[in-house]
Amino acid sequence: MGYTQIALDISEGIATLTLNRPEKMNAFTGTMMNEIIDAMDRIDADDKVRAVIFTGAGDRAFCAGADLTPDDGRAVFSSGDPVSDLSDIRVRDGGGLLTLRLFQSRKPLISACNGAAVGVGVTMQLPMDIRLASDNARFGFVFARRGIVPEACSSWFLPKIVGINQALEWCMTGRIFGADEALRAGLVRSVHPQAELMDAARGIAREIAENTSAVSVAMTRAMLWRLPSGAHPMEAHRVDSRAIYRLSKGVDATEGVQSFLEKRAPVFPGRVSADMPDFYPWWGEEPPYA
């Protein structure tokens, strides 16, 4: 697929996905959504990719929100004949389709937020695993100021990341806030001068790519995102017991121990495409993201 609104570069085991509409401050559209989803499908299928960095083109914005034109990032998708009663029609938020796909990723996702991130520009970053920001970054959950509500599954993600009180304040006021406040609240893990942001993100990506098992990281990502929502720690115990047992008998565990004893960098042979534990996914079938 040739991309028109994103750019995808894969080098040294790291995929860099750039929102690429700098003339529009990388505003989100249905086309951009489809291109990111397609890129994620390619990335998940490529065992050479060990980590993914998301950023925006230019020095003004990561993503300034939905493009408020007919090709709108808040697109509603329906099935069946149009009816007047919305209880009888299937409606889907475009930002939510994207964040659900990111949630399903088998690769770790790193956000390098290089400027304004408003509306879907910030909510699309919530299912990413590690978020960094430049010192000129600005964030805003502005939905109440537009007469709508938080989208892109952010009512599920945001309280998990910053807590319910902070999530409520940001969403109910709809105010814009800076990188330092985002750092204090835990929305981002670090703030960097803009010229140093991508180097910092690549450093984290390389640390993952060069030192860890792809299968272990994929399992860990799924466990940490899903298991805290369980009603009892026994649910986590069941999954991590099975995972430890299966993975301890695998080729990556052998290499992990051997490289440690030999005091060398590991070279893990396991592949996410073929070597996940036989019970993965343990959570059963989920509603499709698209």
DSSP states of 132-201: EEETT-EEE--GGGGTS---TTHHHHHHHHH-HHHHHHHHHH--EEEHHHHHHHTSSSEEE-HHHHHHHH
Whole-Å CA distances, 70 to 32, 78, 97, 138, 142:
14, 16, 18, 26, 20
Which pLDDT belongs to residue 290?
Answer: 57
Average pLDDT over residues 85-93: 64
| pLDDT per position as a tens digit, 22-52 | 999 999 999 999 999 999 999 999 999 999 9
Most distant CA pair in the chain, distance: 69
Average pLDDT over residues 219-244: 94
At 237, the amino acid letter reads H
Question: Of all residues in the chain, what percent carry a pLDDT higher than 70?
Answer: 90
β-strands 14-19, 51-56 pairing: parallel
Both structure tokens of 251: 């080729």
Average pLDDT over residues 146-174: 97
Provide φ and ψ at 6, rounded to 5°. Answer: -135, 165
Band of the pLDDT at 79, cuts 50, 70, 90? very low
Provide φ and ψ at 22, rounded to 5°. Answer: -60, -30
Residues 248 and 290: their CA atoms lie apart, in Å, by 35
Are 216 and 210 in contact by the 8 Å Cβ rule? The answer is: no
The owner of tokens 């430049």 is 134
pLDDT above 70 for 21: yes
Are 198 and 53 in contact by the 8 Å Cβ rule? The answer is: yes
Q: What is the DSSP letter of 24?
A: G
Mark residue 38 as left, alpha or beta (left: phi above 0; alpha: psi -120 to 50; beta: remaining).
alpha
Q: Could you give the angle at the alpha carbon of 129 between the alpha carbons of 125 and 131, nearest 5°?
A: 55
pLDDT above 90 for 245: yes
Strand partners, 8: 17
Provide φ and ψ at 115, rounded to 5°. Answer: 165, -145
Both structure tokens of 145: 């100021």
Average pLDDT over residues 264-271: 96
List for the chain the helix, strand, coil content (%; round to 5): 45, 15, 40
**Nearest partner of 1 among 34, 28, 30, 26, judged by Cα:** 34
Choice among 119-128, 205-214, 222-231 with the minimum mean pLDDT? 222-231
Average pLDDT over residues 228-247: 94
Selected residue with higher pLDDT from 87 and 11: 11
Q: What is the CA radius of gyration of the chain?
A: 20
Which pLDDT belongs to residue 287?
Answer: 60
- Give the sign of the dihedral formed by CA 98, CA 160, CA 286, CA 213: positive
Q: What is the DSSP letter of 21?
A: -
Which pLDDT belongs to residue 176?
Answer: 98
Catalogue all structural domains in the chain, each as residue range(s) with its CATH number: 6-208 (3.90.226.10), 213-290 (1.10.12.10)
pLDDT above 60 for 78: no
| pLDDT per position as a tens digit, 131-153 | 999 999 999 999 999 999 999 99
Band of the pLDDT at 171, cuts 50, 70, 90? very high
**Residues, the chain:** 290
H/E segment holding residue 111? strand 109-113
At 9, the amino acid letter reads D
